[in-house]
Structure 1
Amino acid sequence: MATESWRGMLSPGTARSAARAININASAQKVEVDNRISLHYYYRIAGNLLRQASIYREEKNLIDLYIILLRFSSLMCETIPSHRDYQALLSKERVAFRKKLLDVINELEALKPLAQHQVDEINKGNIHRTVGVEQNSYDPAFARNQLSNSFTMQQVLARSTSELLQKQTMERNQALEKQMDRRFKKLNINLPNPKEETLSKHSILGPNGLQGSWAGSISGIRVQYPRNVDLLTQDEIPGLNQEHSHDPAILTDTCSQLRNSEMEPVLSLDDGSWSVSGEGSCSVDTNTAEEEIFQLNIRQPSIPPVLTQIQPQPRSISPSRVADPRPGLQKLSHDGDSKPYQKLHISVQMLEIFLKLAEANTKKNLETCGVLAGLLKNSTFVVTTLIIPKQEATSDSCQTTHEEEIFNVQDQRSLFPLGWIHTHPTQTCFMSSIDLHTHYSYQIMLPEAIAIVMAPTDKERTHGIFHLSEPGGVSVIRSCQERGFHPHEEPDDGSPIYEHCSHVLMNANISIDVVDLRNNR
C-alpha cells in the first residue's frame, strides 16, 4: 500500500492515544512454538490476525494495525516454520499465507515511519516510558532483506526448519535406541541359562572345546533357545512393521550369504537337514523371511524418524517453588511492566444464562463448559455469542468434542474466539492445573482471551474471570509436559501463574446469542 494512502490516519484519535505510553516491543512479542498444538491451529491464529488487521484498517487505527501486522509477520517467519509439521503438512495453507506475508511486509514498510511519528506524539507525555517502533525485536525491513536476497522465501523459511527437524530426528532416534536397549536388557535377565550339555553340543569348537576341532552339529533334534523377539509383541519389534524392511534385493543378498556360509548349520542351530539347496531355494515370502532373519540374528533396518515426543519423567518441584493455586490480583492499568490488552466487554446476563444451561449437569455434580465468541469494534472486543459444544464431563473436568463445529459457528458469523466459561459444581472458584492448560490454547490464539469460572456453591466468590500471567504463566504452561492434576512451578519472575483480569468490563447493554450444539445430534 502506498505511503500517501495512510496520510489520513495520522490524527491521534485512536483508543491508544489517551492511554499510557506505547510499548511496541511488548505488544508484538514473538509467539514461541508448541508442537503439542496442531499446525492447523497456528494457521487459524494467523487468519484471525489478518481479520483484526482488516478491522483496524477500516477504522483507520494506525498503531493497532501496525502491531497486528507485526504479530502476523513474526508468526509466519519465526513461529510457524519452527513447527515440526511445517514441511510435512498443510502445503496449500503454507503457499497461501506466504503470498499474504509479502503483502503484509510491503504494508509494514509503508506504515513504519507513520507509526513512529504517532507513537512519538503519544509518548511525549510519558518520557520515562518512551519506546519507539525501532525497538521492536522484529523489523519488517529485515524480513524483506531476508526474502529479497539470494534466497527465495521458501529457502529462508525452510533453512532453519530443516536444521531443527534434523536435530529433533537425532534426539528421537537416540531416545528410541536407549528405550529398546533397556527393554532387551530387562528381558535378558529372565532368560534361562542353557545347560552345559546343550552348550557343548552346539559349540563352534565341538564338545571338546579348545582341545578339539569343530565338527559341526550332529544332533538329530532341532534345539531353539528362547529369544527376545519371542517375548515381544509385533508392535514392539523394531522395523517389523516398516515399509521396505524386506526388500527383495536385500533378501537376495541374504540368501547368497546363507548359501556361501559354512557356519549356517551352527548359527541356525540346525543339524544340516534344513540347509538351503539350489539357486531357487530362497523365496521372498514375508513370513518365511522374517523367521529366517530372526533365527540368523541378522539385524533389522533401523527405525526411521518418527514425529513423536518421548514424555519426560515428571520432575519433582521444591515445596518452596510450587506455584500458588490461588489467582493473583488484578494488574492496574498504570503498571508499566504489564502487557497492554484491548478492553473486553461481557454481558451481565450471560453469566446467569450459562448457569441455567448448566443447571441439569450441576445437580448431577458434573461440570459444564462453553465457548465465548464475539466481535471487535473501536479497539474493544465484545462477547456476543455463547457456544455450548458437545462435551464429556466429570465432577472435576470437562472436555469438548466435535471442535470443528465450534470453528464452523465462529467462521460463519465472523466471530473471534474470546475465551471460555465452565462450572465448578461443588468446588471453589479457582483454576485447576487442567483449567490452566485448557486456557493456554485460548490465550496464544488471542492474548485478550479470558477464562470464566462459575462456582455456585462457593460462599466467598461465585464467579471469577482469569487469564495466565504474561510472560511468566504462559511460559510455565508451555514448558509443562504433564497431564491431569499436578502442581506447577512458580514463574521465574515471581509473578502468579494466573491472575484476575483487569481488561474486562461488565456491560448491561449487550445482548447475547446462545448456540447450543448439544441439541444437534
Structure 2
Amino acid sequence: MSSRKERLVLMEPQERLKLLTNNSNNVEVDPNIPPGRYYRSGIELIRMANVYYTEGSYESAYVLYMKYMTLFIEKIRKHPAFKDVPLTTKEINKQQLREIIPKAEKLKKELLDQYTKEYLLYKSIKEKEDEEERRATEEEEERSRSRSTSKTKSTQGQSTWIGTSLVLPPTDIDNINYPDPNIAVNEFRPSIPDKSSKPTFPTSSTVLQPIVDRSSKPSSISSQTAVSGLRSVVVPTCVMPRFLLLAKNNTLANKETCGILAGTLEMNQLIITHVIIPKQKGTSDSCLMMNEEETFDYQDQHNLITIGWIHTHPTQTAFLSSVDLHTHCPYQLLMPEAIAIVCAPKYNDTGIFVLTPDYGLDYILNCRLSGFHPHPTDPPLFMAAEHIKMNGSAPLEVLDLRDKK
C-alpha cells in the first residue's frame, strides 16, 4: 500500500470524507473565460461523472458531482458575464442540479461506509501484524538468551584432550595438572561447542491488499487520477495524417487549420475518437473557430467529451506561440489532461503539448496581454505531454463542418 493511501485509510472515516469534499470544492472561475465555456464544461463533467459511477469509481464520481455543484451553485454567479447567460441554459443547468444533488448525497453515504470498513479492516490487520512482530522479537530475544546461557555453561564445563591426558578445568590455579613432557602428543581433540544454524522466525503472511485510489487533489474542474496525476490520453496515430490531409489546401495557401479533439472516458482513460473541424477563419499564424454551437450539438448527440485541440503551423516548426498558449489555457483549466497537437508539415514535425502545471498554467491565466506578445521562456510555459498513449489500431472519425450549410 502506498504511503499516501495508507495515511488516508488510517484517517478517521469522517475526516477522510471531509478531505475529499474539500478537494472537490477547489474550483475557481476565471473572468476571462466566457461563462458559456463553463456551462459546456459542466455538461462534459456530468458525462465523465456518470461513466465513473457506472464503472464503480465512486470517489471520482463524487469529486466531479461536487465540483459541478460548487461551480454552478456558488462560483459561476460571481462571473461578471453571468447575467448574459441565456435563461434556457440556466434552466437546463438547474434541472441537472436537481438530479445531481441526491446522487451526491447517496455517494457520500456509500463512501462513508466504505471508508469505515477500510479503516476497521486496516486497523485489525495492522494490530495482528504488530502482535506477530512483537512475538517474533520476544522469541528471538529468548533464543539469544538461551544460546548465551548454553555457551557459558559449555565453556565452564568443557574438558580438553591433549595427547593421552585429560585436563579438567581448574578450580584452583595452584593445582593445575600439566601433561608429562615425555609422552608424545599424538592428537589434539579440543571440545567444540555445537554451533547450530541461526534460527528463523515467523513473519506475518497477512498482507493488506492495496485499495485502488481513484481520488486525488484536483487543481481544476476535473479529477486527476493517473500517472503524474493525470489520466492517460489515448491518441490514434492516424489523427495527424488525416487532419493534415484535410488541411492541405489551407497549408498550401499559408493558412492555419484547427480542429477539436473529442472522445470518451473509459476505464479512467480519455480516448480520442473524433476530430471535428468547425467553420473557421485562418491566417498565416492564427485560426479562429466559428459557429461553435454546431460542434457542441454534435458532441451532445454523440456524448463526446472535449479532450483538446489540434492545429497546423504551415511554415513554422511545432511549438505553442503566445496566442496558442492563451487559446489552450481554457482547455487545460477545465480539464487538466487537455492536449494541444501542433502539426508542422513543412518540417515534417508534430508536437503534443500542455502548459506546465507548476508554472505555465498560472502564468498564462494571469497574463492580460492579447495578440502576439513576448513571454518568458525560463522556466518554460509549455512542455511535451507525458500522459499520451499512441495507438495504431484505434478507430477515428473525422467530421468536417466547414462546408456544412
After TM superposition, is the score higher than 0.5? yes
SS of 1:107's equivalent in the other structure is helix
User: 1:429 and 2:313 equivalent?
Assistant: no
Letter of the structure 2 residue corresponding to residue 408 of structure 1: D
Give 3-state SS (helix, strand or coil) of 1:431's partner: coil
Which protein has greater RCO, CA pairs closer than 8 Å, 6+ apart?
A: 2
Distance in 2, matches of 1:418 and 1:364, equals 28
SS at match of 2:264: strand
Pair 1:62 & 2:48 matched? no
- Indicate the residue corresponding to 1:390 in structure 2: 279
Give the one of 217, 231, 241 matched to 1:352: 241
- Report the equivalent of 1:142: none
Structure-2 residue corresponding to 1:381: 270
- Cα distance change, pair 117–31 in 1 and its aligned pair in 2 (3 A): same
Deviation at 1:476, TM superposition (A): 1.9
- Note the aligned Cα RMSD (angstroms): 3.7
Larger strand percent: 2
Matches within 5 A, 1:227-238: none
Distance 2:73 2:282 in 1: 39
Q: CA deviation at 1:510?
A: 0.8
Structure 2 residue 350 is matched with structure 1 residue 466: no
Q: Distance in 1 between matches of 2:21 and 2:317?
A: 37
Residue 478 in structure 1 maps to residue 365 in structure 2: yes
Q: 2:69 aligns with which of 63, 70, 73?
A: 73
- Return the index of the structure with the highest Cα Rg: 2
Give 1:426 deviation, angstroms: 1.6
CA distance in 2, matches of 1:500, 1:374: 21
Aligned to 2:132: none
C-alpha distance 389-132 of structure 1, shift in aligned 2 (>3 A)? closer
Please give the per-residue CA displacement for 1:75-108, whole angstroms capped at 9, x wherever unaligned. Answer: 1234211111324533343344345435534433
| Mapping of residues 136-215 of structure 1, within 5 Å | none
Q: 2:2 and 2:403 mapped to 1: Cα distance?
A: 46
2:333 paired residue number: 444
Mapped pair 1:504 → 2:391: no
What TM-score do you get using the length of structure 2 for normalisation?
0.64
1:43 aligns with 2:42: no
Identity across matched positions, percent: 37
- 2: CA distance between counterparts of 1:377 and 1:18? 24
Match of 2:179 in 1: none
Tell me if structure 2 keeps the 8 A contact 1:476–1:489: no
Residue identity opposite 1:445 in structure 2: L
Q: In the alignment, which residue of structure 1 is the partner of 2:80?
A: 84
Q: 1:24-423, aligned counterparts within 5 Å?
A: 24=20, 28=24, 30-87=26-83, 89-101=85-97, 103-112=99-108, 114-115=110-111, 340-423=229-312
Query: Which residue is equivalent to 1:220?
Result: none
Aligned AA for 2:381?
I
1:454 aligns with 2:338: no
Q: Which moved more, 1:32-41 or 1:479-488?
A: 32-41
Question: Deviation at 1:489?
Answer: 5.2
Task: Give the Cα separation in 1 of the matches to 2:21 and 2:381.
Answer: 22
Indicate how the Cα distance of structure 1 residues 378 and 43 shifts in structure 2: closer, same or farther if over 3 A, else same: same
Unaligned runs of 5+ in 1: 1-16, 139-332
Q: How far 1:372 sits from its partner (Å)?
A: 0.8
The 4+ residue runs of structure 1 with deviation greater than 4 A are 17-27, 116-122, 131-138
Structure 1 residues 41, 20: CA separation in 2 closer, same or farther (over 3 Å shift)?
A: same
Deviation at 1:36, TM superposition (A): 3.0
By how many angstroms is 1:434 displaced? 0.4
Q: 1:75 to 1:485 in 2, by over 3 A?
A: same
Which residue of the partner structure matches residue 520 of structure 1?
404
CA contact (8 A) 2:313 2:343 kept: yes
Aligned length: 298
In structure 2, the partner of 1:203 is none
Shift of the 96–365 alpha-carbon distance from structure 1 to 2, 3 Å rule, reads closer
Any stretches of 5+ residues in structure 2 without a counterpart? 9-18, 123-206, 221-225
Structure 2 CA distance for aligned equivalents of residues 517 and 104 of structure 1: 33
Cα-to-partner distance string for 1:42-87 (whole Å, 9 max, x where unaligned): 1111121111121122222212111211221221234211111324
Q: 1:27 to 1:505 in 2, by over 3 A?
A: farther
